[in-house]
């Protein structure tokens, strides 16, 4: 089929197949792709609203046995730079989040062999006991699989226990590219195969949890494999309807074992646009300003995105790989409104919570994203002694007196 025929097909609201998506992604001029994606966004969100959420992106540990070669964030078991956050540190982060209008934590971390399922359950219960209305968007599918393997429970049982402890939804991290050839090359096949990632989401959706789907592109995959990834999440969305949104971002190469170059802004916008076209059963697509910066983030609103993602407050993973963009609520709203849209706060289910928080409250400007810990803080949470460690380094650490966090 010619590109002009595919344009008509998409403009008419018809679904395209993988071959057609590959042709559009490869051959359609960028303005055509953007125009088609923008048309879909306008059909799905005719009221010119662009949403965002105020939340905090907290990484509870950087210790990880998965060792993905595109990751600059993780530290090996026993590393002096490895950390686990104390419950009190997480409470402090939640207090700061609520102060600026935040409603949830995006809580993700490394695959730490010394944190058993009970540690997560106790943390979630403690958060919910202290902040009953606060939401936990926590533990990507590979983390759920890691906990399931460590606890020798099946994935469904782990999800049930986490829901009982306070889990509200699952973020779509760890998807990278849902093609096993690529996952093997990225050393992330062992943490979760494509089928395993999708099955965690399927099981979460069956239990009533809403989740997001992501795609990190620009490592070793082909354009056809990006389309295959989109087809796989579209199929699962047809089956369950449980995804709230799709988020794509480019691989950040600095300080990684894999190295290489970051994809350009145009490649990002083309990828976002083709995702908007392919994922006809997704209501929302987020702009990834954290990896692309505010200016490309703003342009994303003309290439299919209807959501600016999260104010974020804190970021550790992307920063470790070289990107350090920061936008507080004021800056996000400025970008949204300058592009001709109406900015509204939302929750994890994309329900509108209201107008920008800073317009009705005194909020300090945030010109830099926080980090997990202050530099030089090597404290070990005292409560870790309550949980058995598996690794030799973890056992040794827990036999020593605990140290307090830096005040």
Residues that bind ligand SF4 (CB under 6 A): 64, 66-68, 71, 73-74, 110-111, 142, 188, 191
Instruction: Give the nearest distance from C-beta 52 to ligand SF4 in angstroms.
Output: 25
Q: Which residues contact 401 (CB under 8 A, 6 or more apart)?
A: none
Instruction: Give the nearest distance from C-beta 260 to ligand SF4 in angstroms.
Output: 16
DSSP, residue by residue, 170-222: E--TT-S-S-HHHHHHTT-TTT--HHHHHHHHHHHHHTT-EEEEEEEESSS--
C-alpha pair distances (Å), 12 with each of 16, 41, 42, 43, 277: 11, 13, 13, 11, 12
The answer to whether residues 247 and 271 touch, using CB atoms and an 8 Å cutoff, is: no
Q: Which residues contact 399 (CB under 8 A, 6 or more apart)?
A: none
Instruction: Give the nearest distance from C-beta 28 to ligand SF4 in angstroms.
Output: 32
Chain length of the chain: 407
CA atoms of 38 and 253, how far apart (whole Å): 30
Return the number of the residue (188 or 247) whose C-beta is nearest ligand SF4.
188
Return the number of the residue (175 or 305) whose C-beta is nearest ligand SF4.
175
Instruction: Give the nearest distance from C-beta 197 to ligand SF4 in angstroms.
Output: 12
Return the number of the residue (101 or 171) whose C-beta is nearest ligand SF4.
171
Return the number of the residue (191 or 229) whose C-beta is nearest ligand SF4.
191
Return the number of the residue (209 or 317) whose C-beta is nearest ligand SF4.
317
The answer to whether residues 387 and 118 touch, using CB atoms and an 8 Å cutoff, is: yes
Closest Cα to residue 180, out of 129, 244, 232? Answer: 232
Instruction: Give the nearest distance from C-beta 317 to ligand SF4 in angstroms.
Output: 7
CA atoms of 235 and 31, how far apart (whole Å): 28
Instruction: Give the nearest distance from C-beta 65 to ligand SF4 in angstroms.
Output: 8
- The encoded tokens of residue 310 equal 């999260």
Closest Cα to residue 299, out of 259, 342, 269? Answer: 269
Return the number of the residue (71 or 144) whose C-beta is nearest ligand SF4.
71
Instruction: Give the nearest distance from C-beta 193 to ligand SF4 in angstroms.
Output: 14
Return the number of the residue (56 or 183) whose C-beta is nearest ligand SF4.
183
Instruction: Give the nearest distance from C-beta 145 to ligand SF4 in angstroms.
Output: 10
Q: What angle do CA 256, 292, 92 make, to 5 degrees?
A: 75
Return the number of the residue (84 or 327) whose C-beta is nearest ligand SF4.
84
Instruction: Give the nearest distance from C-beta 155 to ligand SF4 in angstroms.
Output: 16
Q: What angle do CA 206, 212, 218 make, to 5 degrees?
A: 135
Return the number of the residue (324 or 404) whose C-beta is nearest ligand SF4.
324
Our CA dihedral for 62, 382, 370, 288, rounded to 10 degrees, sits at 40
Return the number of the residue (180 or 239) whose C-beta is nearest ligand SF4.
180
Closest Cα to residue 22, out of 170, 231, 220? Answer: 231
Instruction: Give the nearest distance from C-beta 198 to ligand SF4 in angstroms.
Output: 17
Q: Which residues contact 184 (CB under 8 A, 6 or more apart)?
A: none
């Amino acid at each position: 089929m010619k590109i002009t025929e595919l344009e008509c097909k998409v403009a008419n609201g018809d679904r395209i197949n993988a071959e057609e998506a590959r042709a559009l992604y490869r051959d359609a001029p960028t303005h055509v792709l953007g125009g088609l994606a923008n048309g879909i966004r306008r059909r799905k969100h005719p009221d010119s609203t662009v949403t965002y959420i105020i939340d905090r992106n907290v990484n509870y540990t950087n210790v990880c046995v998965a060792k993905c070669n595109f990751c600059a964030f993780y530290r090996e078991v026993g590393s002096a730079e490895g950390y686990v956050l104390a419950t009190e540190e997480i409470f402090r982060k939640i207090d700061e989040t609520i102060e600026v209008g935040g409603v949830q934590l995006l809580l993700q971390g490394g695959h730490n062999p010394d944190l058993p399922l009970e540690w997560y359950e106790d943390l979630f219960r403690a958060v919910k006991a202290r902040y009953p209305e606060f939401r936990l968007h926590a533990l990507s599918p590979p983390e759920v699989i890691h906990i399931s393997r460590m606890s020798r429970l099946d994935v469904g049982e782990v999800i049930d226990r986490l829901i009982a402890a306070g889990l509200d939804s699952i973020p779509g991290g760890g998807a990278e590219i849902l093609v096993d050839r690529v996952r093997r090359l990225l050393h992330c096949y062992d943490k979760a195969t494509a089928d395993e990632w999708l099955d965690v989401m399927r099981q979460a959706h069956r239990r009533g949890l809403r989740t997001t789907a992501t795609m990190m592109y620009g490592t070793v995959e082909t354009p056809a494999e990006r389309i295959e990834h989109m087809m796989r999440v579209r199929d699962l969305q047809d089956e369950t309807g449980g995804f709230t949104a799709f988020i794509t971002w480019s691989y950040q190469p600095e300080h990684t074992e894999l190295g290489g170059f970051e994809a350009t802004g145009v490649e990002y916008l083309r990828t976002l646009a083709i995702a908007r076209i392919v994922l006809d059963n997704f209501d929302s697509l987020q702009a990834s300003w954290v990896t692309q910066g505010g200016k490309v983030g703003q342009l994303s609103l003309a290439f299919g995105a209807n959501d600016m993602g999260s104010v974020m407050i804190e970021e550790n993973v992307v920063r470790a790989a070289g990107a350090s963009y920061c936008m507080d609520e004021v800056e996000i709203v400025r970008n949204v409104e300058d592009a001709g849209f109406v900015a509204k706060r939302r929750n994890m289910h994309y329900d509108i919570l209201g107008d920008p928080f800073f317009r009705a409250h005194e909020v300090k400007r945030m010109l830099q994203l926080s980090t997990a810990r202050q530099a030089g803080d090597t404290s070990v949470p005292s409560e870790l002694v309550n949980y058995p460690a598996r690794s030799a380094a973890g056992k040794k650490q827990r036999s020593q007196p605990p140290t307090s966090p830096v005040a």
